[in-house]
Structure 1
Amino acid sequence: MISFYLNNELIQTAAAPGSALLDFVRYDQHLTGTKIGCREGDCGACTVLVGELAADGQTVNYQSMTSCCTPLGNAQGKHVVTVEGINQASGQLTPVQQAIVAEGGSQCGFCTVGFVMALTGHSLGQQPATPHNTRAAMDGNICRCTGYKSLERAAEALGQQLAGRPATNALAWLSKQQFVPEYFQKMPAQLAVLQAEISPLPPSSPPTLLGGGTDLLVQRLAEVRAQPVQLVFDQRSRRGIRQEAGGRVVLGAATTATHLLESELLRGLLPGWEDFLKLVSSTPIRNMGTVAGNFVNASPIGDLTIMFLALGAELTLTDAAGAARRLPLHDFYTGYKQLAKAPGEQLTEISFPAPLPGEVFHFEKVSKRQYLDIASVNSAAWLRVENGIIQEARVSAGGVGPVPLLLRRTSAFLAGREVSADTLGGANEVMQSEISPIADVRGSAEYKRLLLRQLLTAHLLQAGLEIELV
């Protein structure tokens, strides 16, 4: 039995844990304000808020999620909010809705609900209400009518209102300002009672592992809905980011991309980390997508995979008996969508050596849109540079082969050479022999070769290359 709060109502259902939250909301509960759009997590029309009781048991942390690829089972013990659940009993517009109306931010209206929920989630969040953060909250929403300027003006007006949001007891202030109804203030206590009463959903055998759902519920919804699943998204033992005494950084497999982006540890170790992670999908998808899911999906252009290849990541795989083995990430891919993983094994941890002074990490991505898009080509590089000489290198690339590539020969060529234009030229020659791009909707093979050359140039510029580029 799955138990959670949907708006202000306690829900208990025996529906399939692997079904989509979107379908349950619309077809079982008849809350049709949440729209069906792309069903791929791209358009944002199905955005809802999912609140999880914090460790202190006193607050609820709300995040925007695209319900089309949110497994229903992941709602267990949480508070799910649709657009029907944010209005006061009087039926008047919330400040978010009013700002969109005032600035003409809605035309056909189909996408408007998603924008409303994304901005409401931002209002409930911990991020400072800067113009940048308020606009960034909408990075998972697409509108084909307004040209976005009206929506950006609405976000700016909303940010001005949120400037008065207090640092403590913000929920009471938001309720008084009618951003959310009063029942939100009772939700921490209600969720605490609910979580004390429920048990984790038992896995069936043989189960399909299901994390954030951002891949499986897009590609295989009907199949996953009909199968027994083992939900790992909320397993706290698989979350978290820590640095061990020897300096190695360890991630739980269910750590999300948002956890990565917001990690103070990673931001401190990897300058530019926040900017790199913001190129990964969008806010609602980052809130759901897990590191292990990105790796196991085995996409040749998986952004996180490309980053962690360059970081020298190692995987911990654990079988049903609890026996664990370690495997370098670059040995995990044996062919297109093929993994060096036994059927009973699960990816439980990811680790990599923490960068030291004098080491440079850099990530680049080229796509048709800056945000919320799949890369045409992406690349990352880790370089250890001393006195202008590259001592060691790891360069990775996506979109130029059947698997995410660690460019071993290119990396070996760079080692021991000075950071110079000649080194760039020689490395590019080696690199071109290591890749095998194909022409597809994201570009011709020749175009992808050129892109990767430019990304390699960007990596070396980051490492201190000073040359007039032509």
Structure 2
Amino acid sequence: MTPPISPQTLTFWRRGHAVTLDNVPADRTLLEVLREDLHCTGTKEGCGEGDCGACTVVLGEAVGGKLQYKAINSCIRLAHSVQGLAVWTTEDLVSAKGELHPAQEAMVHCHGSQCGFCTPGFVMSLFGMYQNTGGGQGIDRAQAQVELSGNLCRCTGYRPIFDAAQQMGSLPLPAGCEVNETATVAALKQLPPAKAGNYLRPTTLTRLLQARSAHPEAQVVAGCTDVGLWVTKMHKRFAQVLDVTAAEELRRVETYPHHIAIGAAVSLHEAYAALVSERPPLKTFAQRFAGLPVRNSGTLGGNVANGSPIGDSMPLLIALGASVVLMRWDKKRQAVAHRELKLEDLYTGYRTNVMKADELLCWIKVPRPVDTEFLRVYKISKRFDDDISAVCLAIRLTLEEGKVSTISIGAGGVAATPVRARQTEAALLGQAWSADTVMAAMAALRAEFQPISDMRASAAYRQTVLGNLLQRFWLESQGLQAINLESVSMEDLA
């Protein structure tokens, strides 16, 4: 029997005080709470899907005794996920005397606002940058573009907003606009824990798995960047929600001799940072995965478990040979049970997988790189930033004496699930790495999948692009440069 939608109390820190709200349903969004309950109407609702950034707010969490700031989309973030955190909206930046914060003042000086609807979201992203760079110091145009990629503006053309990002560090910080981090961290520790209700957010792995066993019908969230769309766009209601992101064990990236293990509660931003530290060529791809607010909220575990055929993480992880660890609470043994399988074997169909009702995806294990590997991942989308892929292709290759010794290819946007191109791999394995071999493999790759036509691309386009990307991979393996957007710098275009 589905439990009723039972409201529960929500408490977070704002403007130097604890905010406590009663009767907040488990599936209510943070934007709804801010605008409708707290009347923070400076935070705007634009797209309702985490795409435009008009709803951006900044969260503060005590991590290792320090305050960690994250700009996030409040429209698709469930309100109870900010229990025990600090929240800043655009109304919170002005001093008691009405003086503007440098993030706001810079937008005025640089004429970064026209119609103004998107401006509060940009200001909050700028505020997050300001706090994370020690007062806006050292921000260049490239960093501004990356960190503002989740905010869209239809008026200014972005140049004055990038100017504001670079100039805000040179403006004085009025008294009353500063954040007392020591006091805020201390205050967060004193906030009461979440009261019992239908929004479940266990703080240990064991309790999380026990909760999943007891409530297999609960909607699992791990950042809510997709489930949030089901609430805002499909008007789904969830009587019970199980949030994995507070389980302490799953908030870590662990390094072992032959692999790294990324917990299911690690944000996309932090997970990709770990992958980039192991494989620097992934940096541009990592920055193109959505915008920063989505990467700050979403998790790699949630992206993989969701299994969207156009999710960008899975083709890359498939090419890297990643595996997933599924865990459950064994009631008979009163212990945790687990099983491990290759990531491409997780999926059975469109957004369906082999997980049992009481299982959760808890870890993603990624093999560490070898010196001889050549890796590339390509994202094809209508917009360069903050867009969903029409095609995503990841290829990992090693050669021995001029022949293909290992090859793994992951693809997205070409089938009902993220897939491994096994037939194309077979056509390449053991063959001389030559133009003729690649030409034959291009034909095999185009024939291996039967993609559909949709709003992002036609089936014929997707098949053609698959082969073209393999050819690009070949050209790059031969040392050819300047054949993709990674070679273009913001400074050259300024």
Do they fold alike, i.e. is TM over 0.5?
A: yes
Residue 2 of structure 1 corresponds to 10
Residue 166 of structure 1 corresponds to none
Residue 157 of structure 1 corresponds to 167
Which of 126, 129, 145 is residue 155 of structure 2 equivalent to? 145
Residue 385 of structure 1 corresponds to 399
Residue 125 of structure 1 corresponds to 132
AA matched with 2:432 = E
* Residues 1:70 and 2:82 are matched in the alignment: no
Which of 202, 214, 221 is residue 225 of structure 2 equivalent to? 214
Residue 311 of structure 1 corresponds to 320
Which of 84, 94, 101 is residue 94 of structure 1 equivalent to? 101
Deviations 1:120-145 (A, max 9, x none): 10000148523322332211100111
Q: Which runs of 5+ in 2 are unaligned?
A: 1-8, 203-210, 331-335, 484-494
Residue 103 of structure 1 corresponds to 110
* Residues 1:234 and 2:241 are matched in the alignment: no
Residue 23 of structure 1 corresponds to 32
Residue 370 of structure 1 corresponds to 384
Deviations 1:16-61 (A, max 9, x none): 2332100001111111110011010000000000000021x2x211
AA matched with 1:80 = V
AA matched with 1:192 = K
User: Contact 2:50 / 2:73 at 8 angstroms: preserved in 1?
Assistant: yes
* Residues 1:300 and 2:309 are matched in the alignment: yes
Residue 287 of structure 1 corresponds to 296
User: Contact 2:95 / 2:174 at 8 angstroms: preserved in 1?
Assistant: no
Residue 19 of structure 2 corresponds to 11
Q: Which runs of 5+ in 1 are unaligned?
A: 162-173
* Residues 1:443 and 2:451 are matched in the alignment: no
Residue 189 of structure 1 corresponds to 186
AA matched with 1:359 = E
Which of 266, 278, 282 is residue 255 of structure 1 equivalent to? 266
CA distance in structure 2 between the partners assigned to 1:181 and 1:375 by the alignment: 40
Deviates more, 1:293-302 or 1:31-40: 293-302
CA distance in structure 2 between the partners assigned to 1:226 and 1:232 by the alignment: 16
Residue 171 of structure 1 corresponds to none
Cα deviation for residue 461 of structure 1 reads 3.0
Q: What's the TM-score, normalizing by structure 2?
A: 0.86
Cα deviation for residue 220 of structure 1 reads 3.4
Cα deviation for residue 182 of structure 1 reads 5.0
User: Contact 2:268 / 2:299 at 8 angstroms: preserved in 1?
Assistant: yes
Deviations 1:132-185 (A, max 9, x none): 223322111001111212222222322555xxxxxxxxxxxx8x5559345555
User: Contact 2:267 / 2:295 at 8 angstroms: preserved in 1?
Assistant: yes
Deviates more, 1:289-298 or 1:116-125: 289-298
CA distance in structure 1 between the partners assigned to 2:466 and 2:93 by the alignment: 46
Alignment CA distance shift 1:201-1:271 (3 Å): closer
CA distance in structure 2 between the partners assigned to 1:38 and 1:191 by the alignment: 31
Deviates more, 1:191-200 or 1:33-42: 191-200
User: Contact 2:146 / 2:287 at 8 angstroms: preserved in 1?
Assistant: no
Cα deviation for residue 443 of structure 1 reads 1.5
Alignment CA distance shift 1:52-1:420 (3 Å): same
User: Contact 1:131 / 1:159 at 8 angstroms: preserved in 2?
Assistant: no
Residue 207 of structure 2 corresponds to none
* Identity rate, percent: 34
AA matched with 2:350 = Y
Alignment CA distance shift 1:179-1:335 (3 Å): farther
CA distance in structure 2 between the partners assigned to 1:102 and 1:126 by the alignment: 21
AA matched with 2:270 = H
Cα deviation for residue 444 of structure 1 reads 1.4
**SS of the residue 1:432 aligns to:** helix
Deviates more, 1:218-227 or 1:10-19: 218-227
AA matched with 2:54 = A
Alignment CA distance shift 1:191-1:439 (3 Å): same
AA matched with 2:364 = I
Deviations 1:72-120 (A, max 9, x none): 1210111011011111001122212111112221111100000000001
Residue 167 of structure 1 corresponds to none
Cα deviation for residue 230 of structure 1 reads 1.3
Deviations 1:322-347 (A, max 9, x none): 32111211111111222111122110
**SS of the residue 1:397 aligns to:** strand
Give 1:161-180 correspondences, 5 Å limit: 161=171, 176-177=173-174, 180=177
CA distance in structure 2 between the partners assigned to 1:398 and 1:420 by the alignment: 26
User: Contact 1:7 / 1:84 at 8 angstroms: preserved in 2?
Assistant: no
Q: Which runs of 4+ in 1 moved over 4 A?
A: 176-179, 182-185, 195-204, 221-225
Give 1:20-59 correspondences, 5 Å limit: 20-55=29-64, 57=65, 59=66
Q: When the two structures are aligned, how many residues end up with a matched partner? A: 451
Deviations 1:441-464 (A, max 9, x none): 112111111211121122223433
Cα deviation for residue 196 of structure 1 reads 7.7
Give 1:265-280 correspondences, 5 Å limit: 266-280=275-289
User: Contact 1:95 / 1:179 at 8 angstroms: preserved in 2?
Assistant: no
User: Contact 1:16 / 1:225 at 8 angstroms: preserved in 2?
Assistant: no
Residue 414 of structure 2 corresponds to 400
Alignment CA distance shift 1:140-1:73 (3 Å): same
Cα deviation for residue 234 of structure 1 reads 2.2
Deviations 1:260-290 (A, max 9, x none): 2332xx3342131222211100100000111
Deviations 1:207-232 (A, max 9, x none): 22111010001123576654111111
User: Contact 2:316 / 2:410 at 8 angstroms: preserved in 1?
Assistant: yes
Q: What's the TM-score, normalizing by structure 1?
A: 0.90
User: Contact 2:376 / 2:473 at 8 angstroms: preserved in 1?
Assistant: yes
AA matched with 2:226 = D
Alignment CA distance shift 1:24-1:196 (3 Å): closer
